[in-house]
C-alpha cells in the first residue's frame, strides 16, 4: 500500500516542502531514496525500535520510501516521525485519511519519544503558505512555530501520541501564542545600564550616534578603560525590534537551533560576542551542512568583536562583503544559500601590543613602529567600512569616585528612538532601508548632502587625511544621523565636523 506524508527541508532560512512516499509490498528489504544523508538512512533503526516499544511490529515486508523532490539533499534526523507514521499507515495500523492535512517533523528516540528539531518556525511559515491544516512538531519546538497565525500547531511528546491523534483525533491540542503579549512581556529593564559608566562622555556620544543610525564602530583604548563594559550596554539603548524584525531574527535562530523550549519569539535585539579564536566558517556561516554564522545570528542586532587585531586576518576579511551587502551568500558545488547579515559591528582593540600607547598614566614600552604595525593587522578596506573610530582614554580617579550617576540607558534610548522614527518616516517608501547606515548612493545623494560650508570642510578633510570614496560616504551617513539626533532637516557644517572627528588618521597614528 502506498501513502504519503509531508515534511520540510530548510534551505537558508526558508523551508521547502518534502513529500515522503511510503510503499509496502511483498519482500523483506528496506530502501530509502531521494538523496538522503546518513542520518536519514539510519532512521530505519530508530523507527524500528520506536515502533517496537510503542507496541507495533516492524512490517515483515519490503518497504520503499521516496523523498521528493529527489534532487534536494535531505539532511538530519528530523524526518523520523513522518517516516514512522508513513510506515504505520502503509501497513494499515493507523488511518491515513488525515496524513495529507499536516506537515509533520520530529526526531524519534529509541523509546518512541519525540526529540527537538531545528527550523520549526520557517517550516510552519511554509506549511501555512502551502495550505496545510496544521503542523505537528516536537513539544519543545511547538511554541516557536505557534507564532505563525492562521495554522494549527501541535506539540507532540511521543510517536503513540501523534498516531492516536491522526487515527482518532484525540491526544493533541493546538498551541496558542499571543504575539502582542509576548512583546509586552519583554523585560524593559536592561541587564547593563549606561548609568553605571563613569566619565567617557565622548565615547557614550559616539555610541549614541552609532545606535541611532545603525553605524559600525571601533573603540581603541588601554586595557581597563571601559571598552567592553560600554559595548555590553549598547543593546540597552537600541530601539525595540519591530514585529517583522523579530520574526526574521527568530527564523535565523530557529534554523541554527538556538531557540529554547520556553521561548516563542525573540523580542530583544541579539548581541553576539564570539571569541577571537573563531574560524571564518563559524563567523560567516557555511560548513558541509550550511548553518548561519555569528554575523547572521547578530542580524538586526550587534556583533561585538573584542580585541579585533587578535582575530585571524582571513576571518576579518570575509566580513567585507556582508558589511556592504548586508547578506552573506554561501556557495557550494551543488547549491547556494543566503543568510541575512544586517548587523551593527562594534569592535574594540588595544592601541598597541603592550596596550598603553597614548595612556596618560603609563608609558608605552613598544619599540618604534610597533604601534602602526599593530594597527596594520586590520586592513584599510575593513577600517573604511567602520563608520566611527573612537579613542577611549582611562577614566581618572576623581571621575570614578563621583557619587552622582551618569545618564541612564533609558534617557539615551529615548533620543535614539526619536532619531530612528525620523529615519523610518524618511525611508518609508524605500524597501529594505530602515536607518542611515543602510543608505544607497542614490538615496545618499537625496538625503545626505551637506550645505556649502560643510562641503568645504569635508573637502579639506579628504585631502588632509587621504580618505577614500567609501570613507566619504561613511562621513555623510554619520553626519546625517547627527543631524537627525538634533532634529535638523539639513546637514550643517557642525554635523560634518563632528562626523570627521570619528575617522582614524592611519598616517599619523602611532608616529
**What confidence tens digit (pLDDT) does each residue in 358-381 have?**
888 888 888 888 888 888 889 888
Instruction: Count the neighbouring beta carbons within 10 Å of the beta carbon of residue 490.
Output: 10
- Is the separation of the CB atoms in 177 and 265 below 8 Å? yes
- For range 225-253, the mean pLDDT: 91
pLDDT for the residue 315: 92
Binned at pLDDT 50, 70 and 90, residue 510 comes out as: low
pTM above 0.85, yes or no: yes
Q: How far apart are CA 97 and CA 113, in angstroms?
A: 24
Tell whether the model's pLDDT for residue 187 goes beyond 60: no
Residue 264: φ, ψ to 5°: -110, -35
Q: How far apart are CA 292 and CA 296, in angstroms?
A: 6
- Is the separation of the CB atoms in 407 and 194 below 8 Å? yes
Which of these ranges, 8-17, 214-223, 320-329, 397-406, has the smallest mean pLDDT?
Answer: 397-406
DSSP for residue 148: S
Tell whether the model's pLDDT for residue 185 goes beyond 70: no
Nine-digit cell at 4? 504519503
Tell whether the model's pLDDT for residue 452 goes beyond 60: yes
Q: Which residue's C-alpha cell is 553605524? A: 215
Tell whether the model's pLDDT for residue 186 goes beyond 80: no
Which of these ranges, 49-58, 191-200, 306-315, 484-493, has the smallest mean pLDDT?
Answer: 191-200
Tell whether the model's pLDDT for residue 243 goes beyond 90: no
Integer-rounded Cα Rg, in Å, for the chain is 27
For the ranges 135-144, 186-195, 361-370, the maximum mean pLDDT occurs at 135-144
Contacts of 396 (CB under 8 A, 6+ apart): 199
Q: How far apart are CA 481 and CA 436, in angstroms?
A: 6
- For range 312-326, the mean pLDDT: 91
Tens-digit pLDDT profile for residues 289-301: 788 999 999 999 9
Helix (H, G, I), strand (E, B) or coil at 241: coil
More confident residue, 335 or 347: 347
Which of these ranges, 190-194, 322-326, 418-422, has the smallest mean pLDDT?
Answer: 190-194
Tell whether the model's pLDDT for residue 479 goes beyond 80: yes
Tell whether the model's pLDDT for residue 148 goes beyond 60: yes
- Angle in degrees, CA 449, 455, 458, rounded to 5: 110
Tell whether the model's pLDDT for residue 413 goes beyond 60: yes
- For range 166-175, the mean pLDDT: 88
240 CB-contact burial (10 Å; exposed 0-12 / middle 13-18 / buried 19+): middle
pLDDT for the residue 404: 63
Antiparallel, parallel or unpaired: β 14-25 and 344-349: unpaired
Contacts of 431 (CB under 8 A, 6+ apart): none
Q: How far apart are CA 409 and CA 240, in angstroms?
A: 13
DSSP state string for 311-355:
S-HHHHHTTHHHHHHSEEEEE-SS-EEEEE---EEEEEE-SSSSS
Nine-digit cell at 196? 553605571
Helix (H, G, I), strand (E, B) or coil at 173: coil
Please provide the distance, in angstroms rounded to a whole number, between the alpha carbons at the two ends of the chain: 81
Q: How far apart are CA 273 and CA 270, in angstroms?
A: 10
Amino acid at each position: 500500500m502506498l501513502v504519503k506524508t509531508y515534511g520540510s527541508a530548510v534551505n537558508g532560512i526558508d523551508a521547502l516542502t518534502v513529500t515522503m512516499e511510503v510503499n509496502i509490498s511483498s519482500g523483506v528489504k528496506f530502501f530509502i531514496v531521494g538523496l538522503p544523508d546518513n542520518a536519514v538512512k539510519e532512521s530505519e533503526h530508530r523507527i524500528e525500535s520506536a515502533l517496537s516499544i510503542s507496541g507495533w511490529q516492524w512490517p515483515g515486508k519490503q518497504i520503499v520510501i521516496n523523498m521528493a523532490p529527489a534532487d534536494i539533499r535531505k539532511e538530519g534526523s528530523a524526518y523520523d516521525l513522518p517516516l514512522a507514521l508513513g510506515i504505520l499507515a502503509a501497513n494499515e495500523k493507523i488511518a491515513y485519511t488525515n496524513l495529507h492535512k499536516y506537515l509533520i517533523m520530529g526526531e524519534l528516540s529509541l523509546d518512541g519519544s519525540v526529540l527537538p528539531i531545528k527550523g520549526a518556525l520557517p517550516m510552519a511559515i511554509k506549511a501555512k503558505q502551502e495550505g496545510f491544516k496544521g503542523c505537528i512538531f516536537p513539544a519543545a519546538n511547538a511554541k516557536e512555530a505557534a507564532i505563525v497565525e492562521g495554522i494549527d500547531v501541535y506539540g507532540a511528546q511521543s510517536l503513540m501520541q501523534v498516531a492516536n491523534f491522526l487515527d482518532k483525533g484525540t491526544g493533541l491540542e493546538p498551541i496558542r501564542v499571543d504575539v502582542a503579549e509576548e512583546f509586552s512581556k519583554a523585560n524593559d529593564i536592561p541587564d547593563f545600564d549606561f548609568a553605571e559608566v563613569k566619565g567617557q562622555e565622548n565615547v557614550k556620544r559616539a555610541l549614541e550616534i552609532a545606535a541611532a543610525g545603525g553605524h559600525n564602530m571601533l573603540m581603541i583604548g588601554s586595557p581597563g578603560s571601559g571598552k567592553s563594559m560600554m559595548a555590553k550596554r549598547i543593546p540597552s539603548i537600541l530601539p525595540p525590534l519591530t514585529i517583522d524584525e523579530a520574526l526574521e531574527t527568530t527564523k535565523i535562530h530557529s534554523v541554527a537551533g538556538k531557540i529554547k523550549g520556553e521561548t516563542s519569539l525573540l523580542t530583544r535585539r541579539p548581541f553576539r560576542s564570539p571569541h577571537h579564536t573563531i574560524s571564518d566558517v563559524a563567523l560567516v556561516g557555511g560548513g558541509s551542512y550550511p548553518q548561519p554564522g555569528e554575523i547572521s545570528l547578530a542580524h538586526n542586532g550587534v556583533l561585538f568583536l573584542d580585541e579585533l587585531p587578535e582575530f585571524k586576518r582571513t576571518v576579518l576579511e570575509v566580513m567585507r562583503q556582508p558589511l556592504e551587502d548586508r547578506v552573506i551568500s554561501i556557495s557550494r558545488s551543488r547549491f547556494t544559500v543566503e543568510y541575512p547579515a544586517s548587523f551593527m559591528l562594534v569592535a574594540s582593540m588595544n592601541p598597541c601590543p603592550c596596550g598603553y600607547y597614548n595612556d596618560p598614566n603609563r608609558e608605552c614600552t613598544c619599540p618604534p613602529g610597533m604601534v602602526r604595525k599593530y594597527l596594520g593587522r586590520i586592513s584599510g578596506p575593513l577600517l573604511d567600512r567602520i563608520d566611527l573610530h573612537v579613542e577611549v582614554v582611562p577614566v581618572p580617579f576623581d571621575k570614578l569616585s563621583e557619587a552622582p550617576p551618569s545618564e541612564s540607558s533609558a534617557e539615551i534610548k529615548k533620543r535614539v528612538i526619536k532619531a530612528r522614527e525620523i529615519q523610518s518616516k524618511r525611508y518609508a517608501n524605500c524597501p529594505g532601508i530602515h536607518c542611515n547606515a543602510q543608505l544607497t548612493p542614490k538615496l545618499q545623494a537625496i538625503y545626505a548632502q551637506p550645505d556649502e560650508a560643510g562641503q568645504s570642510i569635508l573637502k579639506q578633510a579628504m585631502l588632509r587625511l587621504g580618505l577614500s570614496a567609501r570613507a566619504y560616504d561613511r562621513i555623510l551617513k554619520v553626519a546625517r544621523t547627527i543631524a537627525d539626533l538634533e532634529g535638523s532637516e539639513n546637514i550643517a557644517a557642525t554635523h560634518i565636523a563632528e562626523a570627521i572627528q570619528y575617522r582614524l588618521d592611519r598616517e599619523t597614528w602611532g608616529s
